[in-house]
Structure 1
């Protein structure tokens, strides 16, 4: 069992999918793909009966590439690593750092899968999965992906502490494209376990990771900011961008709101404050009732016949 961290900054204790579950998922996907391929081939055969042999061969190759290669790549890209077989077996394709895959990952897996699964009847994929410690086939190695079990008990989830609320959105203009995936994985694992580390050791690790992250982004760590807070803020910015790419701007806005809300309990989500702790909000003083209007002693209350009328404002009839 290894620890993976998703792109939403969630640490998951998961077992990488092994050969039996992956083989069953591949068989389901291939059964569906071949059924669609046969149906499409029969339809094209009826439609291209009047064409010559070269045109028929070109249509057959195009059908093969579209149905058995193009459609699986599109399905994995749009479903973020869940094909029909993986969905049935509770599996999912993720990046090496646990984040969701993109088109280039699905393209590399699908292109190499033609050789190691279709052309060799799965022999190469089975051997590679048995040899690999994490059950990866050749396509996973070249694409930088991993197939994991997605169905896990809720008790195994451990969230990365949110950044301080005043740092949310501070690094919105930062360029994160040059940061390697291994560094993101190290940062997230540190943020998950920093409460279990010795304070001096944890501070040293945070300074080292913050320095590496700053070197790849071209930004410097502010002197008045703890390195752990810097790591959390940059990580939150990255996962907000991924959520926006995957689900639209509304998801990123909701994530920012939940982060600010989640930072309320505890001292800023476990981080030391940069400018000292925030003083507690003093309780509101009870409202002071207005003092009754005083009447001078030499000015007695108005009687029934007075022109001022009673204090209630009611004027009796004459």
Structure 2
């Protein structure tokens, strides 16, 4: 007897759990031939707000995790992704990516996680300093996490682009609410499953799928978000984000990248962009 295929409904990832969107809305993801691949959640403003509340609670404890441990956790994510490499390659192929490109993207994503894991306990030496002053003080500058970041992931290279943006933010001690690619959304929620089974604490990374036009205004204007990362070339979206982010002097980071495979798209300066440099004065005499 013939049977019906049981297609997966990909849920959101908020607070270490996989809830359905509160709006009850979904969109169909289809292949080039129009065949249904899966149903994806269409996240709402309330889903985003719920994720922000959870990410804010998780941020301070994540920032307090030692640099060594953060690196171990990122390496663990790479290990988990390596073990599920064939699944991610197949999902990219289902979404219309050729096998070689899909393989290159997944392997580069694993390597990029290892790269930032290695920088976890080293970037502090690059971006901190002891400053010369003409008074009886020691003057120190040291990097601290920006806090809570909202992220609009790249539309293309849905796995590698996402990993390239969230890995440096994680190493920097930030918590994240990210909107995955609308064009290639499978990789985002499958990555959430990897994060869920790794050692990343619940609430540190929260992943939504949905419509950029609906969610960007909320991601840019929310008063409890400290910074926003936008990946794309749409000048109207960039202008909107810049205007709305100014409401609470949110840091805006714009990546107009077309190919995340290039080595130039991994650097400790991607970590630095998610940090704030704090300066401390300490008297040398009582």
Task: Classify the TM-score, shorter chain.
Answer: under 0.3
Normalised by the length of structure 2, the TM-score is 0.24
More strand by share: 2
Normalised by the length of structure 1, the TM-score is 0.22
